[in-house]
Amino acid sequence: MRYPLLSTLAILSPILTSAQDVSYDYIVVGSGPGGGPLAADLARAGYSTLLIEAGSDEGDNPTYADIANFNEAANDETTRWDFWVKHSDDPDRDLQFAHTTWDTGEGTFYVGLDPPEGAKLLGIQYPRAAVLGGCAMHNAGVCALPAEGDWDVIVERTGDESWSAGNMRRYFKQIEKNQYAPAGEEAHGYDGWLATSTADSSWAQNDTQPGTRILKKLAELTGQDPADVANLVNRDLNDGDPNADETSSFYSMVTHADTQGKRSSPNNYIRATLADEANHPLTLQLQTLVTRVLFDNTTINSTTPGVLPRAIGVEVLEGASLYRADPKHTPDTPPPPTKQIFARREVIISGGTFNSPQLLKLSGIGPSSELAQFSIPLIKHLPGVGENLGDNYEGSLLALGASPFPNGLTTLLFRTPNAPTAKRNIYTWCGAFSFEGFWPGFPTDHGPTQYTCALVLMAPKSQRGTVRLVSGDARDRPEINFRFFEEKGEEDLGELVAAANILREAIAAVGEPVAPFVEQHPCAGGNTTSGNDSSSCTDESQASYFKLQAYSHHATSTCAIGGDDDPMAVLDSRFRVRGVEGLRVVDASVFPVVPGAFPSCPTMMLSAKAAETILEDAEKGNTRRRR
């Protein structure tokens, strides 16, 4: 069911209806995990802030509000933006991806390897969410903190100690409203805006359950005590253990949801800020596409040493479904007239890993040769914009049992024997579900006996992907190529295979009545209970499978923070776009490397850091007045 926009806007005040000749202290472009909380924090500090979102508000829509509906949310055309990406430069290789998607020309998609005659190739679907709250409104809500080293990379590259893992924990505690740990736990926060909760794992106390047999075998294979699995599965995923990054352990999966299963996201924080009796100066403008950042002509053309081009506002198009990634977009419809909105202090781009570099390039910031190709006037040559695209590799071991699997979810972080460091490299969750990547209408329901161990390879070796313009039209999707396994691919594939072998050996312990499990992939047709035929389930065959069928949905790093000596650095450690003034980027695109297994909560943490940083800068002798 599609929910009308007006029903959700009625509680939000104020709402901007005309952008012409309006100015604010700050303009934030994008309401996801980076921009949404940041806009609320700036307004709560007393600065007039405009938050611009291309989509609608679905905060009252149960498809989004109830976190159990995340598959439906990611498929919903109400908010979905379809990016069609490449996994490599080899079109023949990409065409072997089992869920390659085609436009039949009849208003439907074909997904598979044998398209009907005349079908148009679209590619590999990578859905994003154009909605108040961003992709935190359609994800599964896993809230996992990254390895400490993922934060320390920024310290090493910039020398800025404020990015240390210990300091970043402070921002997690600031935003968290923990609803599962005992009150007063040092690692957690209890008064923030982001509710966190865990699922019930009491089923693991029954030693006779099929799931418990798998747990015990997994414990044995990963160096844990099989006799203690009932307690181990309740371990806190974000407990602050200084040795956690080198510890293989079960956990209770933490989600950004409350104990009633209601999604907690930037949407809630934005709406609470708008509804607050304190009347915070936050203005929300929905269904608005930002086409470029505006710069002061006097600074662009200045020959005075030290004067840098200064961002002073944005140009926008107002209307629904203007971006061509929106499946509701009407082709060949002329765009509405452009309008301009001005910022007295700064413009902050938070469009996400795909759209933030696109907007920078459309605004004249990026590789000069690429901008010249589309006749975009150059403001600042920054060759790193749209480069360094990274993502975790994901895959799954899927099997069908002799009867339905009766138990709950198992969450495990572990190190494979061939991992390059002492740190754990795999995040896996196993249970009676199906997850094999993304395509229109995903996932495939394999019936009541399906069992999946989905796995994420953390710290991928290759970040060689790119986001490139296809035109100077802001409504066009960019070209996105992840270039999977281009750098040290054999190492990454070896780790995926090692993880699959461990998981396969564990689920072979399931026993009756669920046994036998018949594997669907990566070793199709194998009997995991009696052991796979080694001639058909080799490490080589599994590596080939993962190379063709790995997928992802944690894209980061296309506007990376870096040091002054790094020519590919887009931002400094204070989120400032290099070579210009009054412009920052705050979203997952700023991470130099992919942060852990799931970037949603890490991005909300850096949003809190960005708010603190921007407010510090605002108070340093800046004479411009607050509202």
Is 352 annotated in a binding site? The answer is no
Q: Are strands 249-251 and 410-414 parallel, antiparallel or unpaired?
A: antiparallel
> What is the rounded CA–CA span in Å between residue 283 and residue 61?
22
Q: Which of 41, 237, 252, 56 is nearest to 137 (CA)?
A: 56
Cβ pair 438, 549 in contact under 8 A: no
Alpha carbons 238 and 145: distance in angstroms, whole number = 6
Exposed/middle/buried for 491, CB within 10 Å: 0-12, 13-18, 19+?
Answer: middle
Give the burial class of 242: count Cβ atoms within 10 A of its Cβ; 0-12 exposed, 13-18 middle, 19 or more buried: exposed
CA-wise closest residue to 92 among 542, 547, 438: 547
140 annotated to bind ligand: yes
Distance between CA atoms of residues 365 and 51, nearest Å: 22
Encoded tokens for 622: 């800046």
197, β-bridge pairs: 255
Tell me the backbone φ, ψ of residue 548, rounded to 5 degrees. -90, -30
Helices (H), 257-320: 266-275, 297-300
Q: Please, are residues 353 and 389 in contact by the beta-carbon 8 Å criterion?
A: yes
Angle separating helix axes 489-507 and 539-549, nearest 10 degrees: 110
- The answer to whether 142 is annotated as binding is yes
Total residues belonging to the chain:
627
Kindly report each contact of residues 221-228 with a partner whose C-beta sits within 8 Å and lies 24 or more positions away, as own/partner: 221/502, 221/505, 221/506, 222/248, 222/249, 222/412, 222/414, 222/415, 222/502, 223/248, 224/248, 224/249, 224/250
- 316 belongs to an annotated ligand binding site: no
Residue type, 35: G
Q: Annotated binding residue at 514? A: no
Residue 111 known to bind ligand: no
Q: Is the dihedral of CA 316, 78, 360, 571 positive or negative?
A: positive
Neighbour count for residue 362 (Cβ, 10 Å):
25
Calculate the CA dihedral of residues 319, 325, 330, 331 and round it to 10 degrees: 120
Residues 373, 386 contacting (CB under 8 angstroms): no
Q: Which two tokens stand for residue 457?
A: 């390879």
Q: Could you list the residues known to form a binding site, using ranges.
A: 131, 139-142, 290
Q: Could you list the residues known to form a binding site for FAD, using ranges.
A: 131, 139-142, 290
